Amino acid sequence: MRKLIVVLLSLSLLVSSDLFARTSSRSGGSSFRSSPRSAPSKPSPKPAPTKPSQPSTIKPTPTKPSQPSTIKPAQTTTTTTQKPKAVSTNAIDKKQQKMLVSKDAEAFKKYPTKAAAENDYKQSLAKQSTYTSSIPPTQKPSYIPENITSNGRPVNVTYNVYPDGRYGYGYVDPTTMLFVALASDHYRVDSYEMRNAGYGQWDNTGKPIVVHHRSYGLIIFFTILGIIVIVFVIVKMI
């Protein structure tokens, strides 16, 4: 039995080896036949030799180094403006009022009436109204009238040269036809200008107007003193 099995296995191996050899030879022959023959490739032409490029004969122009600018930048200076200190208008008014009261007191000692103070003020204006230039002031003073009455005739007041060579405001006299300076009584003034100029403050009747300047410091002092006295009396009574 064992021999039979060995014989069968040997036979099967022989048959299978023979079949394998046949199939491999067929497949190899068919694969060889199926591949086409490739045509022989032509040799590629050699490239033509290139001539070496000749160097350029143009020489580059040398560039000069840029010189630093000698123009200095303008220095900006900052200016600081100091603001004026704020001053209370009430303080200025009190100071001016105190100064005017002092001027009034001096004027009342010097001039007994308003007419005397006004006449002196006009004479001082007449002395100030002479000039050395032929060009009149840009603004005519307020105390110079537009016209006056001379010998019963109205005449205009203009700026011209006096006979002595000075310049000022005057008029042409209708009789002599000469340019005459204004007299002191020709000037016009008011009470406000008189007081500011230091000629006192007067009423319509010519009496001085005396203004008593209040001293709040004294009022506060006497008020505190009165309170202290009252407190002292109350303590003593207790």
pLDDT of residue 145: 94
pLDDT at 222 over 90: no
pLDDT of residue 229: 82
Q: List pLDDT tens digits, range 9-43.
A: 666 666 555 555 555 444 444 443 444 444 445 55
- The secondary structure of residue 208, as a DSSP letter, is B
**Residue holding tokens 């009261």?**
101
Q: Measure the CA–CA gap between 130 and 161, rounded to whole angstroms.
A: 10
Q: List pLDDT tens digits, range 152-211.
A: 889 999 999 998 899 999 999 888 889 999 999 899 988 888 888 899 888 888 788 877
pTM beyond 0.85: the answer is no
Q: List pLDDT tens digits, range 78-137.
A: 555 565 565 555 566 777 778 888 888 888 888 988 999 999 999 999 888 889 999 999
Closest CA to 100 of 190, 189, 192, 188: 192
3-state secondary structure of 173: coil
CA distances from 93 to 29, 38, 40, 194, 225 (A): 138, 128, 128, 18, 29
Compute the radius of gyration of the chain from its Cα atoms.
Answer: 66
